[in-house]
Structure 1
Amino acid sequence: MSHLKLIALDEQDLSVVSAHVQDAVMKVGDLDWRPVERRFIAAANRFVWENRQGFLRRNNERRRAALHFEAVRSVSSTGIARDRPDEVLSLLAIGFTPGVEAPAGTLELVFSGGGAIRLEVDYIEARLADLGAAWDTASRPQHKT
């Protein structure tokens, strides 16, 4: 499978990126806010949800990926211990709430355990890119329905 590269420029695109990073794991120390560049970056190990089950297919894989957001005015978080860089976070979803003046609004990265990161943005511009080869993982993330 080739490396995934996605860009989100609206809410519909963002839902596609969100689906591909669901259950991505990352360390707190792999989150990087660059205020001068107005960019927020997260390095993550994403679960390869686009794999299909079948003959000679590895079904449970992860890939190292970079997720970054442009036009970020400010960043805030809750439920994340920034003084513990080795703490592992599991990303559940990325959402967007429009602001008073479109296309500005708030992007929210929601993590299991109640943690969240809020990005105040001028507009939606998110990019997801795989950085390397996949590796097998023993388990597939499970969610209660």
Structure 2
Amino acid sequence: MTDARFEDGAERPLRLIARDADDLRVLSALVQDSVLTGADFQYQRARRRFSVLLNRFRWEDQAQAKAAGRRVERVRSVLDFSDVTAVAHQGLERDGETILSLLSIAYVPQVEVGADEPAGPGRVVLTFAGDGALALSVECLEVELSDVTRPYAAPSGKTPSHGD
């Protein structure tokens, strides 16, 4: 068995699960520069689930788009966080007007676990441009990223840049 390659995905939607900090770093890279509004958050307290609907930049397709001379793409995706016991936020407008740009997702464990063990209780922190943050207290780390639409040409036609 060989490792999966981005090229193998072609037009198939992504569906990935993170159960440890290393997995979450992969998801974080894939959702970096996603855009959404405060209305795109949903916390289902009874189900202990927090969901985020976002417009994800398709980093996995960037090189192929450039090589083929076509526009870069975005896709609508859902991030589902399981076993969420509390939600806190700072510096985020919860309206449907303000555009938020997701920079990263990180996991902060309550206690360190071994490399081969799934992550236990801790906090998942979503960091947004403009000093906004969302913290989810979780009993264990389980995050699913699912593309829910076909890719579409990014309206700006540009690859996100952070001025590096």
Q: Distance in 2 between matches of 1:140 and 1:2?
A: 21
**TM-score when normalising by structure 2:** 0.83
| 1:46-85 to 2 correspondences below 5 Å | 46-51=56-61, 52-53=63-64, 54-56=66-68, 58-82=70-94, 84-85=95-96
Number of aligned positions between the proteins? 144
The DSSP-based 3-state class of the residue aligned with 1:117 is strand
Q: Return the alpha-carbon distance in structure 1 between the equivalents of residues 40 and 139 of structure 2.
A: 24
Deviation at 1:77, TM superposition (A): 0.1
Q: Which residue of 2 aligns with 1:5?
A: 15
Unaligned runs of 5+ in 2: 1-10, 114-119
Select 2:101's aligned residue among 79, 90, 96: 90
Q: Which portions of structure 1, spanning 4 or more consecutive aligned residues, are displaced by more than 3 angstroms?
A: none
Residues 98-117 of structure 1: matches in 2 within 5 Å?
98-100=109-111, 103-117=120-134
Higher alpha-carbon deviation: 34-43 or 53-62: 53-62
Specify which structure has the higher proportion of helix. 2
Secondary structure at the residue paired with 1:86?
coil
CA RMSD after TM alignment = 1.5
1:140 aligns with 2:159: yes
Determine which structure has more spread, i.e. the larger CA radius of gyration.
Answer: 2
Q: 1:97-119 deviations in whole A, cap 9, x for unaligned?
A: 11148610000000000000000
- The alignment-based identity, stated in percent, is 38
1:57 CA drift (Å): 5.6
Judged with a 3 Å threshold, the aligned counterparts in structure 2 of structure 1 residues 58 and 27 are, in CA distance, closer, same or farther, namely: same
Report the CA distance between 1:88 and its aligned residue: 1.1
Separation in 2, partners of 1:131, 1:69:
16
In 1: Cα distance, 2:150 partner to 2:112 partner: 41
Higher mean C-alpha displacement, 58-67 vs 98-107: 98-107
The letter for the 2-side match of 1:78 is: Q
